[in-house]
Amino acid sequence: MIKFFQRIRRKLLTENKFSQYLAYALGEILLVVIGILIALAINNWNNFRHDRNLEEKYLKEIASNLKQDLEDIDFNLKFNQDKYQSNQIVLEFINNNMNYNDSLNRHFGNLLGSTRSIVNRSGYETLKSKGLEIISNDSLRQMLSTHYEIKYHNIIDFEYKDDHQHQYQILWPEVINSIYIKDMWENGKPIDIAKIRDNYSLRSALAANLFLREYMISNYNRIYDNTVKVITAIEKELERE
């Protein structure tokens, strides 16, 4: 097409038809500009599709990671609920001077233990390395950032600092000195029942642990609900694409 215009321009120039020559020259320029604009539009579309394909890939991986996280959170939740129940039963036994029976063995052996969240961050970290702006939905992008950078961080920080410190610096010494643990989480028995009833430091440690288990249960419930919320938002975004 350009060669066609060039031939016409040369002919018009030799025939001294300058006004027509100028018109054809402008037409040739316009054709080039239109071609450039079309090429840019195609390139922009290709880049857009490339980014959307990446977005879909990362969102699917993150959703898969989060579904695995739900299994871990559910385990941690049930573990802490179990510890809460045993701590509560043992404290009631001590505080109310109840008669001892063998059904208590399981609860005396089940006082110790805490949980550590295992977060599958591979999809989110890959997304971060490529740029969070790949996520076109602003609210979803903010939701992902808050979930991983704040909500997960807060619960893991509490697990590794406050809960871990209480477990191994306060609760463990008190329990080990007062209770014979035959099988961890399965079977234990007071070394001296009378002394346990008068052991106020043990009572205090168990009461604090009861509070911590309740707090962790609340944390795991919240992070579970928020994880489900994020998964739902991702699935809606994938359906929209």
Range of the domain at 91: 2-240
pLDDT of 211 over the 80 cut: yes
- For residue 161, give both structure tokens: 């600092």
What's the pTM?
A: 0.80
User: Where residue 41 falls among pLDDT bands split at 50, 70, 90?
Assistant: low
User: Where residue 218 falls among pLDDT bands split at 50, 70, 90?
Assistant: very high
Average pLDDT, the chain: 87
pLDDT tens sequence across 84-133: 999 999 999 999 988 999 999 999 999 999 999 999 999 999 999 999 99
Exposure b/e, 93-116, CB count within 10 A at least 16 = b: bbeeeeeeeeebbebbbbbbbbbe
- What is the total count of domains within the chain? 1
pLDDT tens sequence across 132-154: 999 999 999 999 999 999 999 99
pLDDT at 7: 61
